[in-house]
Amino acid sequence: MTNELSSYFTMHDVPASERPRERLLRYGAQALSDPELLAILLRVGSAGENVLNLSTRLLCQFGGLAGLIRASSSDLGEVRGVSDAKIAQLKAAFELGRRAMIASPDTRPQITSPQDAANLLMLEMSALEQEHLRVILLDTKNKVMRTPTVYIGNVNSSIIRVGEVFREAVRDNATSLIVAHNHPSGDPTPSPEDVQVTRTIVSGGSLLGIEVLDHIVIGHQRFVSLKERGLGFD
């Protein structure tokens, strides 16, 4: 009964010094829990539920912050109390965080292994319902410049134009790149088409003087490096 009634309390019932926004201003963002930070972002709850309870419920429903980041707009829209405005606020905040991570040359991630490349994209790409082909553009120190999407649809060598894969790399003067695409089925096992696409892209990179370091296939919390398996890099 207590839990049921607590959802009807508003943030005005909480002492001012204990409200998330006031706590952030006094102690800093690092002192707040995930539900508190999320509550500040969402600003208000829904009918019969304060924003802190809504934030906690969201995190529980999607298995924590990582799951919430992966959730699609349609998944979020099915949650009681989550309006289009709240979905937009969440998606905008997560995208700003992703961009901030790679915006500064001093803080941009450096790719030293297939795991580094997979970690950069897995949260986002493992939740996609269609195949997306992206490239991780790298500078001379293998630091990430950008990760643009170059193709959406079935990754097939007869459809993909090599020029489209390298257009962004040429424009940004990237030294090398890593190709990545997702399997919506969740199984990252490379298909024969994946191997052929890799051969085509590696060949194109050789002609342009842009080294293709790897092709990562992303599934649900799993990935496969074609370079590690010797597929398409013969």
User: For residue 218, what are the domain limits?
Assistant: 114-229
Tally of helices (H runs) and strands (E runs) in the chain: 11, 6
Write the CA distances from 22 to 26, 188, 206, 233, integer angstroms: 6, 45, 56, 55
91 and 163 inside one domain:
no
129 and 200 inside one domain:
yes
Q: What is the CATH number of the domain that holds 34?
A: 1.10.150
> Pick from 70, 103, 136: which residue ends a domain?
103
46 and 20 inside one domain:
yes
Cα 165 vs. chain centroid, distance in angstroms? 20
Give strand pairing partners of 177.
Answer: 137, 212
- Which tens digit of pLDDT belongs to each residue from 31-67? 888 989 999 999 888 888 888 899 999 999 988 887 8
Residue 11 to residue 88: CA distance in whole angstroms: 22
Give the position of tokens 């990545």. Answer: 180
- Which tens digit of pLDDT belongs to each residue from 103-139? 665 667 899 999 999 999 988 888 788 899 999 999 9
Other C-beta atoms lying within 10 Å of the C-beta of residue 213:
21
83 and 64 inside one domain:
yes
Q: Is residue 169 part of a domain?
A: yes
pTM over 0.85: no
Residue 54 to residue 7: CA distance in whole angstroms: 9
In sequence order, the 6+-apart residues with CB closer than 8 A to the CB of 117 are 111, 136, 178, 180, 214, 216, 225
Query: Torsions phi, psi of 158, nearest 5?
Result: -80, -15
Q: What is the CATH number of the domain that holds 225?
A: 3.40.140.10
Per-residue confidence band for 4, with pLDDT thresholds at 50, 70 and 90? very low
88 and 144 inside one domain:
no
90 and 118 inside one domain:
no
- Count of structural domains within the chain: 2
54 and 84 inside one domain:
yes
Q: Is residue 34 part of a domain?
A: yes
98 and 121 inside one domain:
no
Long-range contacts at 112-116 (CB < 8 A, ≥ 24 apart): 112/142, 114/214, 114/216, 114/223, 114/225, 114/227, 114/228
- Which tens digit of pLDDT belongs to each residue from 70-86? 888 999 999 999 999 99
